Structure 1
């Protein structure tokens, strides 16, 4: 089995350039999590946020290092197959289920953005008043059919760059005041709960919503299932070359995330919501274009997320069945229907970021790569008590601690139902 994997990976010749691989991995990292980072900064403060963001970025790079080293030892270039190599069929099923959970969370967040932004776009294009009875089911109909649209990853990433530029620009033309917040956003709850220092930047802040910060960051940096396929496609692939691809991609996304969080937070301070675009005027022409760009970006990305979910379901439920169009379409329809139900009943995109960021994200970033490394790399190459394997064990332990603490704090926040001014 081992030799088969090695031969398959060796016979395949990658044709993707170094620069294009950076672009592909950057696009894999970039997602809806960028919209929640200003909210995360509002609930941690600038200094604590920057420290945590740097930490998550470094840990993500180290996690990719473990994946690449493990894949290099056995010649496997698929995340699920590493699970199979480590634990047999249960390991493959576990990896597939976690990847599926994360992709469902990602798709839910994309459709939640459609649910929020599509009515505003229609209102803006049709010049309808904000209090018009625009039926929210328009967003659900749109969300249901968009799974069958094509996609262009380059255009999606360009839309998010346009979003960042607009956020930076709006910081310098927007005044933070109670009157402005009410007139421009209609967020009466934020106004009623605001304090005298609502327009002052906080360097360190701790409140119940801080529990969502690390999960939101982790959610924003997950790209690990795509690392090995991109590694396979890389021209003249080797571990050092692919690690450089990962490091540059993570650095680029780190800069985008940091700029978005800082300028989004410094525009609205403590009033910022968990979906940043909700804070901007529905009548602003520039932000209408931004909303349209983000909507197009997530629309074009949903099929990309749907495909691996459907593939995982087919592997789990119908591993030996030949391709059949009825089964293919039925699974897609059922998945979209279930995800739409989730989006309809979940009240806040923050809850999606938090739950997925506290469960599947630490599994994909911390736990599974470390366990794969410990179990797959042979002891004759690296003994169990060697420094790299001890570091991997500490990495796995950190992942479990992060998962348990995040889930605990999020559950406490959900149960107590405490609400602060930011994010609601």
Structure 2
């Protein structure tokens, strides 16, 4: 097995192809040129976008994977680079992306080979009922934790926005107030959708919000540090040897947890093939890597001289940006949009695992669907109100369940499925990913606990 490189793909779906040819009034079997496509876009832009982003389309799937991958952990990347050192932090982010891509591809290969489309069904086929139960529980807790992370972030963003614009009212600054309002009146309706493709427009919003967030952090670096940009890059610490470096690994692992979403999105993909599934992964994770690097690099360079290693802001938006900075106010609003769109995507696989665990293959009624969603969301809201910041939950998840669900299980499934049929290099790669995810995740958790208790200076 090797990483499948992306190829240029200009083919249109069969429905879009028919629409273009009918609009042009030409033969239905001739090839579509770029000019034909441009004419159709100019004549009927709304139809083109609707068909291009239809449920299960390539672009809809890419946005769904991207929105699922780039969660609340994106704000911790400058902090991770600060702990690891400038160049070593960049290397770790790239390695995290490569491991995530390989694990996702392995998962799709296994699903295609076995003809199954869920973690628990694959686990049951390969290892029996106990693995099915273990997989379901791991998925439920992992994705539930990811949703809690979004809610922890949401409760702090609105007060931060109000602070940036100069509002100091104690009631309006209450994180508990905004946590309840946003969860009940915005997140809950979004979580009621039964299909991930129903969230394709929210995923598009998430994508453009991510792009703006990266632009804002990059632009603000050059505007705040104009005249010393080169000096800051040249004086940045290349690699740090403190024990706190190990705290970086859970953050990186958590940042690339797209695997639970890969299977349902792959199953909804139009004209589903392994090659098309790999293209979705390559493009979405490639874009995620680019955005991660921009935020991690320029967020770190903006403030590393102003803070010590352990005093560096956990979430980059809490950095010492001046109040009234319109660019950063809008960036905080963009992050709010990211959290609002990412939370339902985290709940989806968690809820599906609960349905499978309780009802098996039986269809779930709308009443039970709403009841389970409400219970999940209300309990998650209660937990989120008790957690002070996202670094706590990201580190715990990134060192425990995220390595299991997103790296260890896909590799383990692949080894079991193709035992005796796969090359030695692929086998070594699978074992290496499992070992690294386990060891560094555990060490990261220990270091975080010691550092939190004040044992590391």
Smaller-chain TM-score bracket: 0.7 to 0.9
Pairwise CA distance, 1:103: 1.4
Matched, 1:260 2:295: yes
Pairwise CA distance, 1:21: 3.4
Classify 1:225/1:274 alpha carbon distance in 2 versus 1 (closer, same or farther; 3 Å). same
The equivalent of 1:4 in structure 2 is none
The equivalent of 2:213 in structure 1 is 163
The equivalent of 2:378 in structure 1 is 337
2:433 to 387, 392, 395: 395
The equivalent of 2:74 in structure 1 is 34
CA contact (8 A) 2:248 2:444 kept: no
Give the whole-Å Cα distance in 2 for the aligned partners of 1:51 and 1:86: 35
Classify 1:307/1:71 alpha carbon distance in 2 versus 1 (closer, same or farther; 3 Å). closer
* CA-to-aligned-CA distance 1:115-153 (integer Å, 9 cap, x gap): 21111224456x423778733322221243133233511
Matched, 1:242 2:282: no
Query: Which segment drifts farther, 322-331 or 22-31?
Result: 322-331
Classify 1:131/1:143 alpha carbon distance in 2 versus 1 (closer, same or farther; 3 Å). closer
The equivalent of 1:182 in structure 2 is none
2:317 aligns to what SS in structure 1?
A: helix
Number of equivalenced pairs = 382
Give the whole-Å Cα distance in 1 for the aligned partners of 2:67 and 2:374: 26
Pairwise CA distance, 1:302: 1.8
Classify 1:395/1:88 alpha carbon distance in 2 versus 1 (closer, same or farther; 3 Å). same
Query: Which segment drifts farther, 354-363 or 99-108?
Result: 99-108
Give the whole-Å Cα distance in 2 for the aligned partners of 1:235 and 1:83: 25
* CA-to-aligned-CA distance 1:249-300 (integer Å, 9 cap, x gap): 2221111101111111111115331111111334322222221221122123
Give the whole-Å Cα distance in 2 for the aligned partners of 1:32 and 1:172: 24
Matched, 1:223 2:273: no
CA contact (8 A) 2:63 2:207 kept: no
Give the whole-Å Cα distance in 2 for the aligned partners of 1:405 and 1:203: 22
Give the whole-Å Cα distance in 2 for the aligned partners of 1:328 and 1:165: 39
TM-score by length of 2: 0.75
Give the whole-Å Cα distance in 2 for the aligned partners of 1:133 and 1:246: 41
Give the whole-Å Cα distance in 2 for the aligned partners of 1:140 and 1:244: 37
Give the whole-Å Cα distance in 2 for the aligned partners of 1:304 and 1:257: 19
Matched, 1:99 2:139: yes
The equivalent of 2:194 in structure 1 is none
The equivalent of 2:304 in structure 1 is 269
Give the whole-Å Cα distance in 2 for the aligned partners of 1:401 and 1:256: 27
Classify 1:345/1:398 alpha carbon distance in 2 versus 1 (closer, same or farther; 3 Å). same
Classify 1:402/1:160 alpha carbon distance in 2 versus 1 (closer, same or farther; 3 Å). same
Classify 1:373/1:32 alpha carbon distance in 2 versus 1 (closer, same or farther; 3 Å). same
CA contact (8 A) 1:208 1:418 kept: no
TM-score by length of 1: 0.81
Give the whole-Å Cα distance in 2 for the aligned partners of 1:208 and 1:390: 28
The equivalent of 1:202 in structure 2 is 237
Classify 1:130/1:104 alpha carbon distance in 2 versus 1 (closer, same or farther; 3 Å). same
The equivalent of 2:454 in structure 1 is 417
* CA-to-aligned-CA distance 1:161-207 (integer Å, 9 cap, x gap): 1111110111012249xxxxxxxxxxxxxxxxxxxx9x952221233
CA contact (8 A) 1:73 1:377 kept: no
* CA-to-aligned-CA distance 1:71-127 (integer Å, 9 cap, x gap): 2321222222211212222222222222222212221221121121111224456x4
Gaps of 5+ in 1: 1-13, 177-196
The equivalent of 2:107 in structure 1 is 67
CA contact (8 A) 1:362 1:402 kept: no
Pairwise CA distance, 1:318: 4.3
1:154 to 197, 204, 208: 204
The equivalent of 1:25 in structure 2 is 65
2:238 aligns to what SS in structure 1?
A: coil
Give the whole-Å Cα distance in 2 for the aligned partners of 1:406 and 1:369: 22
Aligned ranges for residues 53-202 of structure 1 at < 5 Å?
53-123=93-163, 127-129=166-168, 134-145=173-184, 146-150=186-190, 152-175=202-225, 201-202=236-237
1:149 aligns to what SS in structure 2?
A: helix
Pairwise CA distance, 1:222: 1.0
Classify 1:300/1:390 alpha carbon distance in 2 versus 1 (closer, same or farther; 3 Å). closer
Give the whole-Å Cα distance in 2 for the aligned partners of 1:21 and 1:132: 41
Query: Which segment drifts farther, 70-79 or 109-118?
Result: 70-79
Gaps of 5+ in 2: 1-53, 191-198, 227-231
Pairwise CA distance, 1:34: 1.0
Root-mean-square deviation (Å): 2.9
Classify 1:16/1:387 alpha carbon distance in 2 versus 1 (closer, same or farther; 3 Å). same
